[in-house]
Structure 1
Amino acid sequence: MRPRAEYRNEVKTRLRDEVYTRLQNFKQLNFIDSDSAALARLAEMLLCGIVPAQRLVVSDDSDDRSPLGTIRDAA
């Protein structure tokens, strides 16, 4: 059995080379020091948007309304 490497960059190991290069460019452009902080920022931007918006809560008491009326109106 080979001795385990002292340090292995998990991000670099798991990303394709092109994606890792783009991650490094993103880090440099945004003054981010670590790969994990850059990935956290990218995930936040992707999942929450660049300008976070409050999601509207859709209520269940809509009575099945549509632009053409309700199901009860059609019956």
Structure 2
Amino acid sequence: MDENQPARQTCKVTCYAGYIQLDGKRIDVSFEAATDASKEQLDAAFLSALAQHATIDYLAIGDCEKVRDDGDSSPGCAKQ
């Protein structure tokens, strides 16, 4: 390492191998996540790796209105 270069930040990571089985087809993925990653962070890392194996597309088919109470945090009814 060049002594004139600033030291790089590092973090501990764990390497994972996982899979999803969908409609009888198994898709294997490998991914990394911080050693102290939460379940949500592991899920996000897995899904990010999975997305590299897929083509994802969607089409808006229309708008609708639904009743929302103040406690509703579903993505389909975000507060505005």
Greater Rg by CA? 1
TM-score of the superposed pair, with normalisation by structure 2: 0.21
Structure in which a larger fraction of residues adopt helix: 1
Larger RCO: 1 or 2 (CA < 8 Å, sep 6+): 2
Q: Which has the higher strand share?
A: 2
